[in-house]
Amino acid sequence: MRKYIIEARELVYQYPDGTNALNGLTMQIKEGQKVAVLGANGAGKSTLFLHFNGILRPRQGQILFDGRSMDYRHRSLVELRKNVAIVFQDPDHQLFSASVLQDVAFGPLNLGLDKNVALAKAREAMRQTEIDTLSSKPTHFLSYGQKKRVSIAGVLAMEPRVIIFDEPTACLDPRMVDKTMDLLHRLNKQGKTLVMSTHDVDLAYSWADYIYFINGGQVAGEGTPREVFLNRELLAGCGLKQPWVLEVYRELIDSGLLATTAPMPDSKETLLELIRNASPGAAGVKIRVAQ
Amino acid sequence: MRKYIIEARELVYQYPDGTNALNGLTMQIKEGQKVAVLGANGAGKSTLFLHFNGILRPRQGQILFDGRSMDYRHRSLVELRKNVAIVFQDPDHQLFSASVLQDVAFGPLNLGLDKNVALAKAREAMRQTEIDTLSSKPTHFLSYGQKKRVSIAGVLAMEPRVIIFDEPTACLDPRMVDKTMDLLHRLNKQGKTLVMSTHDVDLAYSWADYIYFINGGQVAGEGTPREVFLNRELLAGCGLKQPWVLEVYRELIDSGLLATTAPMPDSKETLLELIRNASPGAAGVKIRVAQ
Amino acid sequence: MLLIDHFAYNNRFTQVHPGEKALFFVLTMSVCLFLPSLSTSLAVTLLMAGVVVLLAGIPWKFYGKLLLVPGSFLIIGLVAVAVSVTREPCQFLWGTYLGDYAVGITKAGLDTAVNLFFRSLGAVSCLYFLSLTTPMTEMVGLLRKLRVPALVVELITLIYRLIFILLEMAGQIYTAQSSRLGYRSMRTGFTALSQLILSMFIKSYRQSQNMYDSLVARCYDGQLHFIEDKRNWSLCHVLVIVAVEAVLAAWALYAGGIM
Amino acid sequence: MKKTLLPLINLKYSTLALLYSLLVVLAVPENAYAMHIMEGYLPSTWCAIWYLLTLPFFILGLVSINKTVGLNPKMKMLIAFAGAFAFALSALKLPSVTGSCSHPTGVGLGAILFGPAVMAVLGSIVLLFQALLLAHGGITTLGANAFSMAVVGPFVAYGVYKLCRRLRTPLWLAVFSGAALGDLLTYLTTSLQLALAIPDATGGIPASFTKFAAIFAFTQIPLAVSEGLLTVLIFNLLYTY
C-alpha cells in the first residue's frame, strides 16, 4: 500500500470573526494519487488547502506531511511549502510581478537556489505549461487563461511533490479546460500527487482516483468516484449532483438497454463505447436470452 | 412574428491599443426570448454586451433598441440603460455600497425615483432573489453566491426589459447554479428578454431559445439549439463541444438502441425519458421489425 | 488602460539594451538642461520626435496627443511667468492699469516664458522617449544596477503590478456603476465616485492580504530576489548615441552658448 | 546679429507657444490640472537642490518602513497597495460629468495611517510612476515634486492631525484639517519652488510666488476641501470595520 503524503487529523479552525471554518476534519492523501475535493461554496475547501502548506495553523488537530507532524517552526514550514504548493483560484492574487519570468522564478529563488539553476527551473516550468513565448510580456497584458498558466508554472518551478489546485478550471473556456486537464494528467504521470477542488462533478468523476466531499467544515463522505457518486443521499446533502455519465448508465441498465453486467463507465468515452458495443444485434441476443 | 428588441448591425469596435474586438458583428434579439451567446474567452462577448447598453460606442455600425437607432445623447443613454441591464461576471466588482439594501437601491435611486418607491423596488428585487435576510449586511462580507444574487437584485430593481448575464453560473456550486437558472426561468416567464453568455454548452443547449456562436469578433453561427449544435465543424471552429445529451442521443441512435424516429431530446430529463420508454420490450419489438 | 505602458512593450526598441536607452535619455536631457537655448530645445524636441515616431514606430497621432498632456501646466506657467504685476512704471510690450497696479507683459518676462516653454518641451520629449521605449520591468533592472536600495526596488515592483490590478478593478466598478446610471448627474456622480473609492480601498486591502498569503505559500521570506534576461550592449548603438550627442552638444554650444 | 534678431524670433516662438496652448484647450478639455512641476521646468541647480533636500526624509522613511515590516511582514504588501491606490486615484479620469476632475492625492490619509516618513518613500515612488506612465511631472523635477508632495504634505497633515487630537477636537475635524492643510501646504510649496527658480522679471521672487499661488488657488483650494472630505469618509469607514 502506498503511504500517505499528507494527513489532516481532526482539524479545527476558526476565523477571526468567530465562525467555524473547519470542524474536526480528517483527510488522508496517498502519494501519487489524484484527489478531488468537492463541496459547496463556503464548505471549507480553501481553508483546508491553506492548512496543507502551513499558511493557516489549526486551533486543534494536526497536519502530517510524509508521516511527520507539522511543528510550524521556520525550517519545517519552508520544507512543507517547498513540497506542497498551491495554485490559487484567482491568478491575480498570485502573480505579484509584471515580469512573467520573475514571477515563475520567484519560488526557486526563495528556496535559495543559484540564479542559473533557478532560471533553468523556471524555463522548464514555462515549457511544460506552454508559456515560453510570454516571457517578455508583462503580466497585465495576459489573458485570464494565460495568467492561470503562469500561476501554475510559478508553482511547478518549485518542483513540489504535492500540488493543490483550487478550482483550476473555473472561468476557463472548454478548450482551456482541456489543456489544463491534460497538463494535470501529465504532472500526475510524473509522479506528483494532485489535489483539486472543483464544482464540476463530471470532471471530478472521470479524473479523480479518490474523492472527498466536504460539508460544513467536515468530511461528509469519501471513496473512489464509483463508490461515492452512487450514494445519492450523500450527494444531495452536499448540494451536488450525480455525474451525468452515471445517470445515463443507470437509466440504460434500468430500462434494459444495457446488460446488467455492463461495467460502470468511468468517462464519457467509455459510456459511448458501451452503447456502441450494445448494438441492435447484441441487444437482440440479450433480450432473447432474458425472455 | 415578434419584433426585435435589440439589434446590433455590423458593429466594429477597436480597443485603444489597436486590437479589433468586434469585426462587423450583426445580431438580432427578439423580445421575450432566451438567447445564449457562446464563444471562447476573448471572442468578444463582453465587448458586445457593453455595446448593448451604451457603455461602449461602436466605431462603425449601430445598435438599435426597440427599432430605434442609438444616438448616444444623454437622454437616449439613460433610456437605454434603464431598459437594458447587465449582470457582470464578477460580483465582487459590481457591488460597491456599504450595505446590501443600499447597493440594490442604487439603480432605482439613480433613475430619480422617490426614496420610498426606490426602496420598495429594491425590497421586491431582494425578495425575488431570496436575499431579503441580508438587507443590512455589508456587501464585502457576503459569500460568493450571495454576492452574485445581490448583483442580480441590483439590476432587477431597475425593472429593465432586457437583462444580460455575463457567465452567470461561473464559479457557482451546482446548487447555486440551479437556483440561478430557476430565477432566470422565472424572469423570462415575466416577459423579460434574457441574454446569457456561458462556456457551458450543456446549459446553453437546454436553456436557450436561440443561440449565437461568436468567434473573432464576428457571429460564427446562429440558430435554435438543435440546429447549431448538430454542426460539428462550426463547434470545433469555435472551440466548443457538443452537448453530451446530443452525443449520447446520437450514439444511441447509431447503435440502434433508440429508434431513428425518437425525437431529439432537449434536456437531460427528456433523454432519460427516451431511454426509459425504449425499454427492452419496446426495443425488442423494434429490432424484430427492423430485421 | 495606460497607453504609454502599452507602447513601452510594443515598439521597435524592445530588444535594445535598456542601458543604451537610458544613456541616450541621460545625455540628451543633460544637453537640454545644461546648455539651454531656444534652438537647442527645438533640436532636442525634433530629434526625440523623430526617434520615437520614425525609429521606435510609435504612432504619430498618439505622440502628438501626448505632447499636449502637460499643456495645462505649461499654459498656467507661461501666463504666470510672462505677465508681471507692478506698481512701478515699467516698459511693457503690452499692458494695462488696474487701479494702482500695472499689469502687463515685459520683454524680459516674455523671453523667460518662451525659453522655459521650449526647454520644457524638449525635456518632456526626452522623458517620453524613455517611457515609450523602455518597459517598466526593464527599468526596475536598471534601478537595481544603479544600487537603489532593495526595499525601494521591491516596492516599485509590487506597486507597478498592483497598479494594474487596481485600475482594472476601478474600471470594472466604474462600468458597473455607469450601467446602473451612476454617473447620470452631478449629484449621483459624486455619490457613485465616493462609493467607488471606498469600495476600492476595502477591496485592495483584502487583496493585499490574499496576495501576501500566496507569496508566503511560495516560501516568501520577506525579500524579493530578482532575476532577468541577459542582454548584451551593442557597441554600434553606443557609438551612434555618442556621435549624435556630440553633434547635439556642438550645436547647442554654437547656437546658445553656456548660460 | 543674434541680439537684433532675438525679438523677432521670440515673436515667432511666442506665436508657436500660443498655438500650442490653443490646441491644448481644444484637444484635451478634461486635462487635469495636476500639481506636478513638469519636466524641464526647473534649472539644473534647483533640480539638484530639491533632490538633496528630499533625500534625508527618503532615508528616514526607508528606515521606518524597515522597522514596520520587521514587526509585521504583511505590512509591506499593504504599503505597496497604498502606493498603488494613490496612483490609481490619480490615473482615473473619473467623472467627466462633474466638470473639472480633481485628483485626490491620498497623501493625508497615508500620512495619518502609516506615518509621514513612510509617505516620503511611497509618495516619491508614486511620483516616479506618474512621470513615467502618465506624463505628469518629470524625472529631473522628481526631487522638487517629492519635496512638496511626499515630504511637506504628509508631515503637515500628520502634524496637524496630531495637534488636533491633542487639543481633543473630534476625530473627523482632525482628519479633515490634516488632509486639507496638507494639500494646501503642498501647493504653496510648489508655488515657492517655482518662484525660487523663476523670479519675476520686475518683482523678483515674492511677486512670482504671489502669481503662482494665486493662479493655482483656483484648482487647489477646492481640491483641498474635497480631499479633506473624502479622507474623513474613508476614515469613518475604516473605523466601522
Quick: pLDDT tens for B177-189.
999 999 999 999 9
Which of A17, A37, A38, A41 to mutate to test binding with chain B, by most B CBs within 10 Å of its CB? A41
Chain C residues near any Cβ of chain B (below 8 Å):
3, 6, 10, 169, 172-173, 175-182, 184, 188, 192, 195-196, 198-199, 202-203, 206
At residue D202 the predicted structure's pLDDT band, cuts being 50, 70 and 90, is confident
CATH 3.30.930.10 describes domain A4-240? no
What's the CA gap between B94 and B99, in Å, rounded? 13
Percent of chain A with pLDDT over 70: 95
Maximal C-alpha separation, chain A: 74
**Predicted pLDDT of residue C82:** 79
Mean pLDDT over residues B153-182, rounded? 92
- Cα C40 from Cα C31, distance rounded (Å): 8
What residues pair up with A69 in beta bridges, in sequence order? A64
Residue C187: the pLDDT is 79
Answer yes or no: is pLDDT of B193 > 90. Answer: yes
Q: Under 8 Å CB-to-CB from B27, ≥6 apart: which residues?
A: B6, B7, B8, B48, B212, B219, B222
pLDDT, one tens digit per residue, over C122-176 is 999 999 999 999 999 999 999 999 999 999 999 999 999 999 999 999 889 999 9
Predicted confidence (pLDDT) per residue in D83-118, tens digit: 998 888 877 654 433 334 445 567 788 888 888 999
Once rounded to an integer, what is the mean pLDDT over residues D52-71? 94
The predicted structure's pLDDT at residue B137: 84
Across B15-24, C223-232, C234-243, the highest mean pLDDT is recorded for: C234-243
What is the predicted ipTM? 0.89
Give pLDDT, residue D25: 56
pLDDT in tens, B69-94: 999 999 999 999 999 999 999 888 88
Give the mean pLDDT of chain C. Answer: 86
| Alpha carbon distance A128, B94 (integer Å) | 36
- Torsion angle in degrees (nearest 10) through CA of A74, A75, A76, A80: 100
Q: Would you say residue A180 has pLDDT above 90?
A: yes
Residue A151 has pLDDT above 50, yes or no: yes
Residue identified by cell 450601467 is: C179
Say whether pLDDT at D47 is over 60: yes
CB-nearest partner of C193 from D69, D95, D237: D95
Sheet holding A4-14, edge to edge: A20-30, A4-14, A60-65, A68-69
Measure B121 CA to nearest chain A CA, in Å.
29
* pLDDT at position B203 over 80: yes
State yes or no: pLDDT of A31 exceeds 50. Answer: yes
pLDDT tens-digit readout, A35-67: 999 988 888 899 999 999 999 999 999 999 999
pLDDT in tens, D3-38: 333 444 556 666 666 666 666 555 544 444 457 888
Scan residues 157-176 of B and list those with Cβ closer than 8 Å to C. 158
Phi/psi of residue C161, nearest 5 degrees: -65, -45
What's the number of CA atoms in the CB half-sphere (13 Å) around residue A236? 3
Contact B53 C179 (CB under 8 A): yes
Residue C55 has what pLDDT?
93
Distance spanning both ends of chain D, measured CA to CA: 73
CA D133 to chain C, closest CA, distance in angstroms equals 6
Check residue C47 and give its pLDDT: 94
Q: Which residue has the cell 494528467?
A: A185
**CB A263: neighbour CB atoms within 10 A?**
10
Test mutation, A275, A277, A287, A289, chain B, max B CBs within 10 A:
A275
Determine the Cα angle at D218 with ends D216 and D224, to 5°: 85
Q: Is A217 left (phi over 0), alpha (psi -120 to 50) or beta?
A: left
In this prediction, what percent of chain C has a pLDDT beyond 90?
44
Q: Which residues of C touch A55 (CB under 8 A)?
A: 213, 216-217
Q: Alpha-carbon distance C122 to C203, whole Å?
A: 41
- What are the boundaries of each domain within chain A? 4-240, 247-278
- The answer to whether B273 and B282 are in contact (CB under 8 A) is no
What is the layout of strands, in order, in the sheet containing B210-215? Answer: B84-87, B162-166, B193-198, B34-38, B210-215, B218-223
Residues above pLDDT 90, as percent of chain D: 39
CA distances A165 to A205, B89, C216, Å, are 16, 22, 16
* C-alpha of C165 from chain center: 21
d(CA A252, CA A260): 9
- Least confidently predicted of A23-32, A270-279, B53-62, C46-55: A270-279
Cβ atoms < 10 Å from Cβ of A143: 12
Residue D41's identity, in one-letter code, is Y
- The strand pairing partners of A68, in sequence order, are A65
| C-beta separation of C219 from A82 below 8 A | yes
Best mutation target, A17, A176, A234, A255, to test chain B (most B CBs within 10 A): A255
Interface partners of chain A (CB pairs < 8 Å, 3 or more) are: B, C
Look at A159-163, A252-256, D12-16, D125-129 and tell me which has the smallest mean pLDDT: D12-16
% of chain A with per-residue pLDDT over 90: 68
Q: Which of A53, A81, A102 sits opposite C227 (nearest CB)?
A: A102
Rg of chain A on CA atoms, in Å: 21
Q: Are A223 and A216 a contacting pair, CB within 8 Å?
A: no
In this structure, the strands spanning A210-215 and A218-223 are antiparallel
The share of chain B scoring above pLDDT 70, in percent, equals 95
Contact (CB<8Å) B88/C180: no
Contact between B22 and B47 (Cβ < 8 Å):
yes
Q: Give residue B122's Cα distance to chain centre.
A: 22
Helix D2-27 with C71-82: angle, nearest 10 deg: 140
Cell, residue C192: 457613485
- The alpha carbon of residue B34 and the mean position of all alpha carbons in its chain are separated, in whole angstroms, by 7
Q: Which residues of B touch C198 (CB under 8 A)?
A: 96, 98
The answer, for A272 touching chain C at a CB cutoff of 8 Å, is no
Q: What cell numbers appear for C158 in the block?
A: 509590487
Whole-number pLDDT of residue C201 = 83
Taking the C-alpha atoms of residue C132 and residue C63, their distance in angstroms, rounded to an integer, is 9
**Per-residue confidence (pLDDT) for residue A47, from 0 to 100:** 93
Local confidence band at C257 (pLDDT 50, 70, 90 cut-offs): low
pLDDT in tens, B92-114: 888 888 889 999 999 999 998 99
Q: Is B268 on the interface with C (CB under 8 A)?
A: no
Q: What is the mean pLDDT of residues A75-96?
A: 93
Nearest to A255 among B171, B241, B278 (CB): B278
Residue of chain C whose Cα is closest to the Cα of D29:
C72
A194 DSSP β-pair partners: A34, A163
Amino acid identity, residue A158?
Answer: M
Contacts with A174 from chain B: Cβ below 8 Å: 40, 199, 201, 239-241
Write the pLDDT tens digit of every residue in B226-265: 889 988 889 888 888 889 999 999 889 888 888 888 888 9
Q: Tell if the CB–CB gap between A158 and C218 is shorter than 8 Å.
A: yes
Considering only CB atoms, D24 lies closest to which of C72, C114, C166, namely C72
Contact yes or no for A129/A101 (Cβ under 8 A) = no
D152 versus C258: the higher-pLDDT residue is D152
Interface touch C207/D81, C-beta < 8 Å: yes
Percent of chain B whose pLDDT exceeds 90: 60
- Averaged pLDDT score across all residues of chain B: 89
| Contact status, residue A107 vs residue A155, Cβ threshold 8 Å | yes
**Beta-carbon contacts below 8 Å between B and C:** 66
Instruction: Report B:71-100 residues touching C (Cβ under 8 A).
Output: 78, 81-82, 85-86, 88, 90, 92-98
CA distance C232 to chain D (A): 24
Nearest CA in chain C to B47: C175
Structure confidence at residue C67 as a pLDDT band (50, 70, 90): confident
Examine the pLDDT at B35 and tell me if it is beyond 90. Answer: yes
CA–CA separation, A85 and A155 (whole Å): 6
Pairwise CB contact (< 8 Å): B174 & A201: yes
Contacts of C180 in chain B (CB under 8 A): 81, 85, 106-107, 110, 154-155, 158
Amino acid at C242: V
Find which of B13-17, C87-91, D177-181 is predicted with most confidence, using mean pLDDT: D177-181
Q: Which of A244, A272, A280 has its CB closest to that of B290? A: A280
CA–CA dist D154, D176 (Å, integer): 13
- Please tell me which residue of chain B has the smallest CA distance to A41: B173
pLDDT reported for residue B289: 38
Give yes or no for a contact between D121 and D23, defined as CB atoms under 8 angstroms apart.
no
